[in-house]
Structure 1
Amino acid sequence: MSHALIVEDDPDAARMMATLVEQQRFTVATAGSLRDARKQLALHRPDVMLLDLQLPDGSGMELFKSPELIAHSEVVLITGHASLDTSIQALRLGAADYLIKPVSPRSLEGVLSRMMKPGALQTELGELERQVDEQGRFGPMWGRSAPMRRVYKQISRVAATSISVLITGESGSGKEVVARAVHELSRRRQRPFLAVNCGAISANLIESEIFGHEKGSFTGADSQHQGFFERAHGGTLFLDEITEMPMELQVKLLRVLETGTFMRVGSTQLREADVRVIAATNRSPLQAVDEHKLRDDLYYRLNVFPIELPPLRERAEDVPLLASRFLADVGQREGRAKRFGAAALEALQAYRWPGNVRELRNVVQRAYVMADGEEISAEWLPRNAGVPVPAEAARPPAAPAEPSLVLPLGVSMAEAEKRLILATFRHFDQHKERTAAVLGMSMKTLYNRLKEYAREDAAVQDAVGSPPSH
């Protein structure tokens, strides 16, 4: 039977938590001070320790200065509120989680259900590191390049905690895959992982979708509805394109992160949110703050642990591995294996991949379909842009130049993105599907960007059209 140590100087609170912990089939010991805690740790090493930060003879943090005492224990901090400082302390010290006072039975049960032996996580991470060297794989992610190894290291560090994560990276670079990797390596892996694209839900519906609503709370609310926070209970909620969330809803999201509670639309009853939030954006977060697309207080609350995902062009050495992986997946689904020729792999690695990994996957699928034999040549692959043409290939008749876009130094990221999207849109004769595919973004995201630009510049209004039905 697992053993728990509760370090809490309030006798009533300690007894209450001891009763709840015993109901989860733990043996329990209590300590009201640092001195008593050290005695208990020496007598019987606990599997989990619930540690109050404020004790009569000092801070609970003092126990972390004796790593030999807590090396084999999962530590859960008990704090008055889920502040940014608490999150940073928990991450720095290696605490598994934290509970907010007053500790509720549901939140305590959730924390205890996720406890694992510290050594088990280290063993699993060690196995993943070996897989990177041998197969080029880290959980659901692929790549051996130095930029990706840095991402893997960050995931390994943060996954075992309950810390909020903010993932940044270009469209199509794999931000949701990173979020899934964090979830699958966390103690929440047995609970749901739900992904929400904040840019794909109507501004009138997004609050209801995220927090739920009561029957009759607004026109059309014919029944009670559970939002993403309730459905993701105990698990992870991934909020993609967080800068597309309405500002008034960002206030409510911040409140959830600070208090661990929320209310359905049309309700006055507080509900607990035992959910880890991972957010992502393909914009510069600080630029979004300056443009009033993202609240600064929410940014700092989400950015406790930032992960910046490199674009595919900055890890070109991973392209052959990724392309071969995608090709194997297609071949398995279609029942016929194919392979890339050497020239095809060179062409794939030389290409700049403006749509990143998503574009690479689409290119591989198209090349599989178009190739007649078992070997895929460079015929159906995208032509390379920006790489000098070999001298022997530069003879008349000269190949037409690739279309390009020149940007002045000092232009903002938002303005650069706008010019790229509109230039690509014009190049493909205002064909939204082709534009979205090349840029590696969803149709909804492209439509939202075009609609936003149309408000800023009436000259492109006629090019926006109606939102895609899908």
Structure 2
Amino acid sequence: MTQPRLFLHVQDPELSAQLMQSEIVRRFVVVRSSNTTPWSEQLLQQPCDLAFIQVDHESEADYQPLISSHLLAEMDFIFVSDGSAEPMLDELMRSGAGYHFRQPLDMSCILETLQDFYQQLSNIRQPADTKASMLDQFGLLVGSSRVMLKLYRTLRKVAVTDANVLVIGESGSGKELVANTLHLASYRAEQRFVAINCGALSPELVDSELFGHRKGAFTGALRDHQGVFTQAQGGTLFLDEITEMPTEQQVKLLRVLESGEFRPVGTDKTHQADVRVIAATNRDPQQAIAEGLLREDLYFRLAQFPVHVPPLRDRGSDISGLAQHFLAYRNAQEQQEKLLTEEAMQLIASHNWPGNVRELKHAIERAYILSDKQILPEHLLLNTEDTEADAQCLAEVPCGVPLDDLEKAAILNTLEQNAGNKTDTAQQLGISVKTLYNKLEKYQQTDQ
């Protein structure tokens, strides 16, 4: 068991005694502040997992280093004060420092908060086992790195609210798992979780998919259809790839978020929406706004609480831990005892994982199929095949052909290879479905 480190900066002898006599504080490795240097400098020199700070109004300068350092991202803080106005402390709280308790202090609440942090920070490990995972879990998320434990605490707090959440993260990092975890930890968990990929919708069907339609509302509307706002009534609606939704539909979505009302296509009857909306994007929202892909007013509506999902490369030991986790579950399913060799683990740890957790999971699945008793480096089909394919592709590209013609040929040939499946085609080409539709419409107009 790894004991978390608690930094204590407390001037009040009575408060200090209460803390040190409590069972929960004795479970931490306690680091007491000294009078030789400001406590913020001490934290920079010996970072801990959690800091308990009694506010000293005579030393406001002690707080400034926190705002300009990495500590706020890597540590959690509990501040206690007499309640006097403290602008610098307010700035820290806006930056996500943690908790601020004011006099009169409720020690039971403070100790309960310490207990909560302890449970999140403690890493209890079982002996290595081919069918055992060593990673912590919150909802559908798995990981024990500092950034993941911080994400768990954030999700636990926002889950019990009805705030709209915008989940931001790279492809494959687990954005839908974050959304589903928020739903499971919310008061709406007994109701439905409905997910829709905004990038996979044809522009002419977005209204119908969102709000539903009545029979005969348009050509092909052979029966009534419930949109996702109706399907998710009382529950959670997850809008994936929100930046790929056409801007005209973004206006209609904004209207629903502002008024709570919507109308199915082909009817004048107004319906009241009772859903918690979680959206996701793998783009930088500000860049998407600048490029006209996301309305700024919709962004502010969706991002009442933005959540950033860390890429796998920033999750440290979670990389090897997740490899073992996926292997353990596959071993349990197949009643096997396959092992990852040390060389394979070294290769996994050194890989950059541009496809994040999804890429890692698929790599372990492929290696499991190819291996016998041990998974060797040659079983891990990472970037090698892609590099060879890229080299072959470059060799086959003709010279002197206009780029627009090359692009058109690539799109139409890929579409034909995928039997007209636009979602798979867009994914293989590395573009959004919305962009693919725009390109195809352009080619159709040019050919007429």
Q: TM exceeds 0.5?
A: yes
Q: Pick which of 126-135 and 207-216 moved more.
A: 126-135
Whole-Å separation in 1 of the counterparts to 2:340 and 2:264: 52
Aligned partner of 2:375 in structure 1 is 376
Secondary structure in 1 matching 2:203: coil
1:51-450 matches, cutoff 5 A:
129=120, 135-373=135-373, 375-382=374-381, 444-446=426-428, 449=431
Q: What's the CA shift for 1:333?
A: 2.9
SS at match of 2:253: helix
Sort the Cα spacing of 1:290 and 1:123 in 2 relative to 1 into closer, same or farther, 3 A: same
Partner of 1:64: none
Q: In structure 1, how many angstroms separate the alpha carbons of the residues matched to 2:246 and 2:119?
A: 38
When structure 1 is superposed on structure 2, of 151-160 and 443-452 the one drifting more is: 443-452
Inter-partner Cα distance in structure 1 for 2:243 and 2:312: 23
Q: What is the rounded CA distance, in whole Å, between the counterparts of 1:257 and 1:452 in structure 2?
A: 23
Q: 1:230 to 1:453 in 2, by over 3 A?
A: closer
Alpha-carbon deviation of 1:186? 0.6
Q: Could you report, residue by residue, the CA deviation over 1:2-52 in whole angstroms, capped at 9, with x for unpaired residues?
A: xxxxxxxxxxxxxxxxxxxxxxxxxxxxxxxxxxxxxxxxxxxxxxxxxxx
TM-score, normalised on structure 2? 0.60
Structure 1 residues 226 and 430: CA distance shift in structure 2, 3 A: closer
Closer, same or farther: CA 329–123 of 1 in aligned 2, 3 Å: farther
Amino acid at match of 2:431: R
CA distance in 2, matches of 1:384, 1:321: 21
CA contact (8 A) 2:168 2:306 kept: yes
Contact conserved, 1:128 with 1:138, CA < 8 A, in 2? no
Kept in 2: contact 1:131–1:137 (CA 8 A):
no
- Report if the CA contact (8 A) 1:350-1:384 is conserved: no
**SS class of match (2:204):** coil
Unpaired segments ≥5 residues, structure 1: 1-87, 94-117, 386-399, 405-421, 435-440, 462-470
Q: Deviations over 1:292-338 (max 9, x none)?
A: 11111000111111111111111132011111111122223333232
Letter of the 1:212 counterpart: G
Q: What is the TM-score normalised by the length of structure 1?
A: 0.57
Identify unmatched segments of 5+ residues in structure 2. 1-93, 100-108, 126-134, 392-405, 444-448
Conserved? CA contact 2:244–2:434, under 8 Å: no
* Contact map agreement 1:237 1:278 (CA 8 A) in 2: yes
- Residue 252 and residue 347 in structure 1: after superposition, are their counterparts in 2 closer, same or farther (change >3 A)? same
AA matched with 1:159: A
Deviation at 1:129, TM superposition (A): 2.7
Alignment root-mean-square deviation, CA: 4.0
Q: 1-side partners of 2:378 and 2:166: how far apart?
A: 39
- Residue 298 of structure 1 aligns to a residue whose secondary structure is helix
- The code of the aligned residue for 2:361 comes to R
Contact kept, 8 Å, 1:131 with 1:138, in 2: the verdict is no
Tell me by how many angstroms 1:457 deviates.
Answer: 9.1
Amino acid at match of 1:129: Q
Match in the other structure for 1:413: none
User: C-alpha separation between the residues in 2 aligned to 1:448 and 1:213?
Assistant: 32
Q: What are the Cα deviations for residues 367-398 of structure 1, in whole angstroms up to 9, with x where unaligned?
A: 0000022x21111114679xxxxxxxxxxxxx
Kindly tell me the number of residue pairs found equivalent between the two proteins. 306
Q: Evaluate the alpha carbon distance shift between residue 451 and residue 283 of structure 1 in structure 2; reply closer, same or farther with a 3 A threshold.
A: same
Which residue of structure 2 lines up, in the alignment, with residue 50 of structure 1? none
CA, structure 1 residues 448+384, in 2 after alignment: closer, same or farther (shift >3 Å)? closer
Distance 1:431 1:347, change over 3 A: farther
CA contact (8 A) 1:129 1:138 kept: no
How far did residue 249 of structure 1 move? 1.1
Which amino acid letter does the alignment assign opposite residue 155 of structure 2?
A: I
Taking the aligned partners of 1:227 and 1:245, their CA distance within structure 2 comes to 15
- Matched to 1:449, the amino acid is I
Shift of 1:175: 0.3
Looking at structure 2, the residues matched to 191 and 126 of structure 1 have their Cα atoms a distance apart, in angstroms, of 30
- Structure 1 pair 245–452 and aligned structure 2 pair: CA distance change class (3 A): closer
1:252 and 1:124 map into 2 onto residues whose CA distance is: 45
TM-superposed CA distance for 1:198, in Å, is 0.6
